[in-house]
Amino acid sequence: MTADVIDGKLFAEGLRGRIATLAAEFTAQSGRKAGLAVVLVGEDPASQVYVRSKGKATLAAGMASFEHRLPADTPEAELIALVEALNADPAVDGILVQLPLPAHCDEQKVIATINPDKDVDGFHVTNAGRLAVGQPGFVPCTPLGCLMLLKDRLGSLSGLDAVVIGRSNIVGKPMAQLLLAESCTVTVAHSRTRNLPEVVRRADIVVAAVGRPEMVKGDWIKPGATVIDVGINRVAAAEPGKTRLVGDVDFAGASEVAGAITPVPGGVGPMTIAVLLRNALVAAFRNAGITLPEGTI
């Protein structure tokens, strides 16, 4: 048995196409483009790449991109003042402060400053609470992208056993909440879980978001299960001095057992920016008081 490979890149392209169509509709109805503001503090190379990608994707979707690049030594008060100005700017529908921030800036304090209705990263405690109690809000992009891939693959998730490996606020906890909302039976596993392979073995759905290269082995997987690998780990390649990207799941081993699996790269990764654009567009429709056509994105 060889698992079907879930093509996140292809799904993300389709989602971006639908977003572009709706973004044009929004502009026609509101007289302005939906606007996404991204704030980058410092020179972190990975963050610079992400911000550049997000800017390009925003413009390609027919939305307005507002980039604010600040020096690494920017005082926390100045960063907070910028966020407050973006909260008040009617041209800005979504605000994303790129993490990590320099050590002198309190990430939680900065995130708490963002208007929850413009918090397209879904990190504000208000949006975490809305997700927990089933109210409309913004969900972190990566777990929402994972849910989209699961529903596209499986249809209804009701009654399925799901194991989420990892309990971060960014992926693990919101992923568990989303699966609960779909009527899954959800176990959140982590580094302290006893008999982790046995826990994973009973799952119809496995979401691995633990940040350990190829930790989840093929013999941990229930035959026919759907495996979503959120991990992105850089490890040494066979060729000296070279590296390669791997997930949190041993792809080769799991592919022999699972029914379907996301690859790394090309699985969950492309979904994150696509869902960010989706969240920004949803924010724009809400902020403008325009009804978003249901089931479109």
What confidence tier does 217 reach under pLDDT thresholds 50, 70, 90?
A: very high
Mean predicted lDDT score pLDDT of the chain: 96
> So where are the chain's domains?
29-115, 141-269
Q: Is the pLDDT of residue 178 over 90?
A: yes
Q: Identify which of 36, 37, 40 has the alpha carbon closest to the alpha carbon of residue 48.
A: 40
Q: What is the pLDDT of residue 1?
A: 66
- Terminal C-alpha separation, the chain: 33
User: What are the structure tokens assigned to 159, written together?
Assistant: 């009654």
Q: Evaluate whether 29-115 and 141-269 have a shared fold.
A: yes
Known catalytic residues are 54, 98, 121
Three-class secondary structure of residue 156 per DSSP: coil
Dihedral sign for Cα atoms in the order 217, 204, 153, 123: negative
pLDDT tens digit string along 71-127? 999 999 999 999 999 999 999 999 999 999 999 999 999 999 999 999 999 999 999
Three-class secondary structure of residue 73 per DSSP: coil
Q: Identify which of 146, 99, 102 has the alpha carbon closest to the alpha carbon of residue 123.
A: 99
pLDDT tens digit string along 232-278? 999 998 888 899 999 999 999 999 999 999 999 999 999 999 999 99
What confidence tier does 44 reach under pLDDT thresholds 50, 70, 90?
A: confident
Give the residues across from 164 on adjacent strands: 188, 207
Residue 182 CB partners (closer than 8 Å, separation 6+):
147, 151, 156, 157, 158
CB hemisphere CA count around 198 (13 angstroms) = 3
Report the CATH architecture of 141-269.
Answer: 3-Layer(aba) Sandwich (3.40)
Lowest mean pLDDT among 44-48, 194-198, 207-211, 221-225: 44-48
Q: What is the pLDDT of residue 78?
A: 98
CA distance 193 to 172: 14
Q: What is the pLDDT of residue 50?
A: 87
Kindly report the CATH number that applies to the domain delimited by 29-115.
Answer: 3.40.50.10860
Q: Is the pLDDT of residue 295 over 80?
A: no
Are 164 and 176 a contacting pair, CB within 8 Å?
yes
CA distance 118 to 42: 23
User: What are the structure tokens assigned to 10, written together?
Assistant: 């292809």
Q: What is the pLDDT of residue 105?
A: 97
Q: Identify which of 21, 67, 71, 14 has the alpha carbon closest to the alpha carbon of residue 42.
A: 71
Q: In this structure, which amino acid lies at residue 87?
A: N
